[in-house]
Amino acid sequence: MSLLALQRTHLHPAWRLPALALLGATAITISAKVQIPFWPVPMTLHTFAIFLLSALLGPRLGVAAMLTYLGAGAMGLPVFSGSPERGIGLAYLAGPTGGYLLGYLVASGLVGWLATGSGWLGRVTVMLAALGVVYAAGLAWLAFYVPSSMLLAAGLTPFLLGDLLKVALAATAVTGANHLKGALK
């Protein structure tokens, strides 16, 4: 059952939010584990999944899915990209990528709140702003681990092209889903 179908079901309201949050966290986990060969570094679908889910489900459910994902990771489940090889649990969250994960949490609320009802260009704009939040939080945290002269080369430049592509794809997928939803009414 898809997230959107589950959102419209007659599940008891007390179960709907936890079920959607769990399904969203599962989708985020899968997206974090997918490695696509890309230049200059392999690409995961993390950004794509978080922005897509948040735009489709709205701020409350987008943040709930991200909190569920982070909570599962904090408890030691190997949900993060590179885990368990690069660590698990709170140690992973406190590691070099912890700021990016916090940035994704803030970005999920931002995208869910501002992208709803926007057109494609509006969604791209919101997602780019949210990506700026992710990079700002990530780079600020990464600065504790990497010399400032290497910060952009380690935490921004290699990922920027892939993330811009994922933003465009997420905005396009949301637009397509909204058109499909409108056609089915």
What pLDDT, on the 0 to 100 scale, is given for residue 40? Answer: 76
What are residue 53's phi and psi, to 5 degrees? Answer: -60, -45
Q: Could you count the other beta carbons within 10 Å of the beta carbon of residue 174?
A: 23
List the structure tokens of 53. Answer: 């889910």
Mark the ranges of the chain whose per-residue pLDDT is less than 50: 1, 6
What pLDDT, on the 0 to 100 scale, is given for residue 1? Answer: 47
Burial of 82 (0-12, 13-18, 19+ CB in 10 A): middle
pTM: 0.90
Measured CA to CA, the distance from residue 60 to residue 58 in angstroms comes to: 6
> What pLDDT digit, counting tens, does each position of 80-117 carry?
998 999 899 999 999 999 999 999 999 999 999 998 87
Measured CA to CA, the distance from residue 48 to residue 12 in angstroms comes to: 30
* Residue 42, Ramachandran bin (φ over 0: left; ψ between -120 and 50: alpha; else beta): beta
Strand, coil or helix: what is 77? coil
Domains of the chain from N-terminus onward: 22-178 (1.10.1760.20)
